[in-house]
Amino acid sequence: MAIEVLVPVVFGLLFFLLVLGAHLGLAMSAVAIFGISMIIGTDGALSLAGLSVYESAQSFDLSVIPLFVLMGTFASKSGISSDLFAAFNTWLHRRRGGLAHASIAACAAFGAVCGSSLATAATMGQVAIPEMR
């Protein structure tokens, strides 16, 4: 199939699957396998899909994310992040929107120490969201 024809077909199939309510990852994977199978064949598409899943699971960049989230959970449960949030809330509570400013400042400070935006969002979300309700 020609690329000029395949591109609208693939986008149409993706849109159709999303309208039906398929999960985004499943719909994108199915459409990608379909598109690649139209270009290089079914055997090549399936082997490429399996290889890409294996390589992304073996990636060092993705393997450290659960450890950063674990570190953030330890910081949250030990009270370090709560103390950090309370300190910034004490300094900024008189300002208009002081609680929001305290959340931003605590996230910035914890993010500078932690180095992972995912762990910072998970940790400070556990601390700041109950305060903001």
Q: What is the pLDDT of residues 57-81, one digit of tens each?
A: 777 777 777 887 787 778 778 888 7
Half-sphere CA count of 96, side-chain side, radius 13 A: 0
- For residues 54 and 71, state if they share a domain: no
Domain shared by 53 and 68, yes or no: no
Given 35, 58, 81, the domain boundary residue is 58
Give the per-residue pLDDT at 80: 82
Judge if 82 and 43 occupy the same domain: no
Model confidence over 92-112: pLDDT tens digits? 888 888 888 888 888 888 888
For the chain, give the mean pLDDT: 84
Residue 33: which pLDDT band, with cuts at 50, 70 and 90? confident
In this prediction the pTM is 0.47
Task: Please report which confidence band the pLDDT of residue 16 belongs to, taking 50, 70 and 90 as the band edges.
Answer: very high
Residues 69 and 115 in one domain: yes
Measured in whole angstroms, how far is the alpha carbon of residue 4 from the centre of its chain?
Answer: 33
- CA 133/CA 129 separation, integer angstroms: 6
Please check the confidence at residue 132 and state whether its pLDDT lies above 80. no
Domain endpoint, select from 11, 33, 58: 58
* Domain identity same for 67 and 51: no
In this prediction, residue 22 carries a pLDDT of 92
Residue 19, pLDDT > 90, answer yes
Total of domains in the chain:
2
Separation between Cα atoms, residue 26 and residue 14, nearest integer Å: 10
Q: Is 67 in the same domain as 54?
A: no
What's the mean pLDDT in 10-20?
A: 94
Which residues constitute the domain of residue 120?
Answer: 63-132
Burial class (CB in 10 A: 0-12, 13-18, 19+), 121: middle
